[in-house]
Amino acid sequence: MSASALARQLLYGDGPHGREAAIDVIRGLCIVSMVFAHIALGGIGYKVTHAAVWFDGAMGFVLLSGLVVGMVQRKTIERGRLSDGPIKVIRRARLVYVAHLFICALAFGVANAFPRRDGTYASFEDVGGWWQALVAALLLQINPPRAAILSLYVVLLLLTAGAAILAFKRWWWLFVVALIGLFAVGHLFPEAFTLPRMPGVFGEINWATWQATYFLAFIVGWNWDRVRPRLDSRPWHAFSLSLVAAVIVWARLDRSEMLPPAVSEVNAWIFGSGQMGPGTVIFAFLVMAALFPIIRWAEGKIPPATSVLARIGRRSLDCYVMLSVLVLLVPSFLPYRTYSLGADLGAVATLLLMWVWNRWRDYRSATSKARERSLT
């Protein structure tokens, strides 16, 4: 290997074989969007990464997770036993649950160590004591701002264990009825399904409505072999791009208060985010369908950029936990304005840190596999 090729490999990497690289790249873009939303809200980077208004990185993050889980679950079950899929996803849920408890413990520590942040994060006194705080965290009743996705994932992954069985038995009618029914009930009784910031304090995410995006993507992932060829269809791509552009224009008109109040009220329900509206679910899939061929093209034209994004997207849980930790700690020691140039630079530095961490993880994984092969 030449020196230049070696340098390129160390910088970008090739990534695991057998993965759909475009999915990792798009997930990397979702991470970028979330980083700017959490660290530099209102800044230049935020405005660029949230141009679609009714779609953001968190929605894409959840959609792509459902897609990948559907693909992995089908392969796992078909290669082994029916129970292998649910066992694997429950193990993943356990890992996310531990991450949730870690973030909760850190949030309590920040609230108690920095009283000025008690209004943002629950302290032991807010909950009634350390014992009540522990029980609330264990029951997913503590969800620090911008970290509720971890609890959401725990719920979705546990539900996936049953969804995988329905998919394997091809009980799609029951799958879809359950999905739509839960979505409707979530809209009718939002308080029963919204993950609280702390006991008695309404939170940000209604998991019964967000599950629709995740499980529709799960169905797509399960049938990926049939769906994948259609994504490269030029007519379909032109159709999805046109609809995405039309929705973005409509959203901008709504944001600019150029639409009648009654229309804006309907838009608020159709394209809701915390309580996911039906339009938001559909729009998320249109955005992904529009992005996929573009990313496939970019992989051949600008591989350095797509490789960096794919590197970040491959270990999305690591990146999200890292982001949550930084959002908790940095403002405690270094208060800043989120719409400042410094905040944008901080977001870029965070992305660089994520890339370095993932590069190290990939290096450790490759080294471990090479060592195992040498021993066999």
Question: How confident is the model over 3-34, as pLDDT tens digits?
Answer: 444 334 444 444 444 568 899 999 999 999 99
| Distance of alpha carbon 216 from alpha carbon 285, whole angstroms | 9
Question: Higher pLDDT residue, 125 or 138?
Answer: 138
Residue whose C-alpha is closest to residue 190's, from 263, 276, 262:
276
Q: pLDDT at position 126, please?
A: 82
pLDDT value at 315 more than 70: yes
For the chain, how big is the Rg over CA atoms in Å?
21
Query: For a pLDDT cut of 70, what percent of the chain falls above it?
Result: 94
Please report how many Cα atoms fall inside a 13 Å half-sphere around the Cα of residue 107, on the Cβ side.
28
Q: pLDDT at position 173, please?
A: 94
| Distance of alpha carbon 205 from alpha carbon 190, whole angstroms | 10
Q: pLDDT at position 124, please?
A: 82
Residue whose C-alpha is closest to residue 119's, from 145, 152, 90, 146:
145
Question: Is 26 inside any structural domain?
Answer: yes
Q: Mind listing the pLDDT tens digit for each residue in 153-188?
A: 999 999 999 999 999 999 999 999 999 999 999 999
Q: pLDDT at position 358, please?
A: 93
Question: Is 12 inside any structural domain?
Answer: no
Is residue 177 exposed (0-12), middle (13-18) or buried (19+ Cβ within 10 Å)?
exposed
| Distance of alpha carbon 60 from alpha carbon 29, whole angstroms | 9
Question: Is 238 inside any structural domain?
Answer: yes
**What six digits make up the tokens of 32?**
């970028």
- Split at pLDDT 50, 70, 90, the class of 205 is very high
pLDDT value at 72 more than 90: yes
Which residue in the block uniquely carries the two structure tokens 């995006």?
213
Q: pLDDT at position 118, please?
A: 64
Question: Is 192 inside any structural domain?
Answer: yes
φ and ψ at 201, to 5 degrees?
-115, 120
Q: pLDDT at position 8, please?
A: 43
Cβ neighbours for 220, distance < 8 A, ≥ 6 positions apart: 66, 67, 70, 227
Question: Is 162 inside any structural domain?
Answer: yes
How many domains, the chain? 1
Are 191 and 202 in contact, with CB atoms under 8 Å apart? yes
One DSSP character per residue, 53-114 reads SS--HHHHHHHHHHHHHHHHHHHHHHHS-TTHHHHHHHHHHHHHHHHHHHHHHHHHHHHHH-
Residue type (1 letter), 192: A
Residue 29's CB is within 10 A of a number of other CB atoms, namely: 21
Q: pLDDT at position 4, please?
A: 41
- Split at pLDDT 50, 70, 90, the class of 376 is low
| Distance of alpha carbon 262 from alpha carbon 248, whole angstroms | 19
| Distance of alpha carbon 142 from alpha carbon 123, whole angstroms | 11
Q: What average pLDDT does range 255-276 have in this prediction?
A: 91
Are 48 and 202 in contact, with CB atoms under 8 Å apart? no
Range of the domain at 104: 19-351
Question: Is 363 inside any structural domain?
Answer: no
Q: pLDDT at position 160, please?
A: 96
φ and ψ at 194, to 5 degrees?
-85, 125
Q: Mind listing the pLDDT tens digit for each residue in 271-303?
A: 988 889 999 999 999 999 999 999 999 998 898
Question: Is 357 inside any structural domain?
Answer: no
pLDDT value at 64 more than 70: yes
Query: For a pLDDT cut of 90, what percent of the chain falls above it?
Result: 68
Alpha-carbon distances, residue 114 vs 118, 129, 332 (angstroms): 7, 17, 7
Question: Is 321 inside any structural domain?
Answer: yes
One DSSP character per residue, 285-338 reads HHHHHHHHHHHHHHHHH-HHHHHHHHHHHHTHHHHHHHHHHHHHHHHHHS---T
